[in-house]
Amino acid sequence: MFVLGIETSCDDTGIAIFHTERGLLSHALYSQTELHSKYGGVVPELASRDHIRRVLPLVKQTLEIAKLSLKDLNAIAYTQGPGLAGALLVGSSFAAALSFALKIPALGIHHLEGHLLSPLLSPTAPTFPFIALLVSGGHTQLMEVHGVGQYKLLGETVDDAAGEAFDKTAKLLGLGYPGGPALSKLANEFSKSGKICSLKLPRPMLHSGDYNFSFSGLKTAVLTLINKKEITSQTQAEIAFAFQEAVVDVLTKKSLAALTETNLTQLVVAGGVGANGQLRTFLSRSAKEIGVTVFYPSLEFCTDNGAMIALAGAMRLKKSISKSQPLINSFTVKPRWNLETQAIK
- The tens digit of pLDDT for each residue in 125-154 reads 999 999 999 999 888 999 999 999 899 999
Q: Cis check for the bond before 181: say yes or no (omega within 30 of 0).
A: no
- Least confidently predicted of 129-143, 197-211, 331-345: 331-345
| pLDDT for the residue numbered 177 | 82
| pLDDT for the residue numbered 232 | 87
pLDDT band at 345 (very low <50, low <70, confident <90, very high): very low
Q: What is the pLDDT of residues 5-60, one digit of tens each?
A: 999 999 999 999 999 999 999 999 999 999 999 998 899 999 999 999 999 999 99
| pLDDT for the residue numbered 194 | 87
Task: State yes or no: pLDDT of 326 exceeds 60.
Answer: no
Q: Domain-by-domain residue ranges, the chain?
A: 2-117+304-342, 127-296
Fold classification of 127-296 (topology level)? Nucleotidyltransferase; domain 5 (3.30.420)
Burial class (CB in 10 A: 0-12, 13-18, 19+), 9: buried
Which residue type does 303 have? T
Q: Are the CB atoms for 140 and 215 separated by under 8 Å?
A: yes
Beta strand pairing call for 266-270 and 293-295: parallel
Read off the DSSP letter of residue 155.
Answer: E
Q: Mean pLDDT, the chain, as a whole number?
A: 92
Equal CATH topology for 2-117+304-342 and 127-296? yes
Fold classification of 2-117+304-342 (topology level)? Nucleotidyltransferase; domain 5 (3.30.420)
92: nearest Cα among 81, 102, 116: 81
Beta strand pairing call for 140-147 and 130-135: antiparallel
